[in-house]
Amino acid sequence: MNRDTEIRARAFIFLDALRADQGDALSRDALLRGFDYQGERVPLLGPQGIFKPRLLTDAPLSITTAPIKEGKVRPYEDEVGPDGLIRYRYRGTDPNHYQNVGLRTAMHQRIPLVYFVGLVPGKYAEEYPAFIVGDDPATLSFSVAIDEVDGGSVAQPQVMDGANARRAYITTLAQRRVHQQGFRERVLAAYEQCCAICRLKHRPLLDAAHILPDSHPRGEPHVSNGLALCKIHHAAYDADILGIRQDLVIVIRNEVLEEHDGPMLTHGLQLLHGKALGFVPRSADLRPNPAHLSERFERFSKRA
């Protein structure tokens, strides 16, 4: 194993350990610090989207997409093509910019990369190994496929047709996972890491709930289509035991109001009936969309 290959393998091992420690949202500080290789530091990302640490000579180590900021367009907006692969934009408009040349080298030599996606400022999701599998100067973009790490070694992409379908499937799943992670992080940040109903602040017990489900034509992963809810209130909301009116007032289903059980039912649900949400974001743009709440509450009313 040559030095460049060893450094890439070490990067994947480092990310495995970091994910085990930090979960699905990795801190930018930890990625900038990176790991030590023979007494020298190897950061995993840099100020630009296409990054090659000094110790590497063959091709970049990582590519990065900036986090979504509600109401703003990202400088480089990646897309998923009809083939299920990610379209990663060139650096600038010159196909021969040295960073674009570096990714072209990675494509020709089948060199694995790390694909970082910003979730919120300072936090990233990661997918690896990622491979450059196409180059389209007409659209100023590369095609990126996510593959698998096999037995702790760096997998090389296969070239048979069946592998193309497999990588497209893996890439689609990876993109879906990253979008869900991004939605969760943006919603929890907007709600200052607390449940909108009971104000519980224990992050492991919080979810980002959709008002209109992501299967709905208007169920976009925007913060205004989300609510930070603890797991109990998320389950109650999804089961239409609990509804939220357009004026942000909580309604509990009649049959639940009439039940007699214990303190969890009393304090966790029944006493919430008729009360306003405990917390909403400070920015009006991030608060629950009234039209979405109204449509969702209509469904609740039919089942209540």
Same domain, 163 and 247: no
> Are 30 and 8 in the same domain?
yes
Q: Which domain, by its residues, includes 119?
A: 3-188
pLDDT tops 80 at residue 151:
no
Of 167 and 8, more confident: 8
* Same domain (yes/no): 54, 99: yes
Domains identified in the chain, total number:
2
Query: What mean pLDDT is predicted for residues 103-111?
Result: 95
Q: Tell whether 201 and 131 lie within a shared domain.
A: no
Nearest-angstrom CA–CA distance, 164 and 76: 25
Longest C-alpha distance within the chain, in Å?
A: 71
222 and 92 share one domain: no
Please indicate, yes or no, whether residues 123 and 232 belong to a single structural domain of this protein: no
Tens of pLDDT, residue by residue over 241-292, are 999 999 999 999 999 999 888 888 999 999 999 999 999 999 999 999 999 9
How would residue 154 be classed by pLDDT, with cut points 50, 70 and 90? Answer: very low
Q: Distance between CA atoms of 237 and 27, rounded to whole angstroms? A: 31
Tens of pLDDT, residue by residue over 14-32, are: 999 999 999 889 999 999 9
Is there a contact between 76 and 95 (Cβ–Cβ < 8 Å)? no
Q: What is the pLDDT of residue 71?
A: 62
**Cα–Cα distance for residue pair 74/37, rounded to 1 Å:** 33
Per-residue model confidence (pLDDT) at position 159? 46
Are 66 and 159 in a shared domain?
yes
Using DSSP's 3-state secondary structure scheme, residue 37 falls into strand
